Amino acid sequence: MAKRQPRKTGGGCKRSLCPIANVLDLVGDKWTLLIVRDLLFIGKRRYQELADSPEHIPTNILADRLKRLEKEDLVAKAPYQTNPVRYAYSLTPKGADLKPVLLAMVTWSGKHVPGARKPPAKFLKGM
């Protein structure tokens, strides 16, 4: 019996055909969903705002993750200043579709992670 091959996408070859593995390939590292969180729920838009998050993401990793998110069409950037050029970031519709995933993580954490902070009510409105 022939072994199934991982699918190839614009971003390269995925490690498997599993939908969970595919999502993890896009957003499953330590930082990416925190960037999505800040854009989606906290309203951060600029690089420095994202860098100032309480988790202290290193700036080289932030720059890399923003590039990857943009490449995967989860984030769009647009200049807000020309000299020097600086960008504001926003979620695309594809990126905003991660909202129920993050809300499910909040719910799970509240149920199973002792001491996890309860998010503000406005954060939970979409639940």
Cβ(29)–Cβ(72) below 8 Å: no
Number of alpha carbons in the 13 Å side-chain half-sphere of residue 30: 6
118: Cβ–Cβ under 8 A, 6 or more apart, which residues? Answer: 110
Q: What is the pLDDT of residue 119?
A: 80
The verdict on residue 126 lying in a domain is no
The verdict on residue 3 lying in a domain is no
Q: What's the pLDDT tens digit per position in 70-99?
A: 999 999 999 999 999 999 999 999 999 999
The verdict on residue 29 lying in a domain is yes
The verdict on residue 93 lying in a domain is yes
Q: What is the pLDDT of residue 118?
A: 82
Question: In total, how many domains does the chain have?
Answer: 1
Residue 54: pLDDT over 60: yes
79: Cβ–Cβ under 8 A, 6 or more apart, which residues? Answer: 85, 86, 87, 88
* CATH code, 37: 1.10.10.10
The verdict on residue 120 lying in a domain is no
Number of alpha carbons in the 13 Å side-chain half-sphere of residue 71: 12
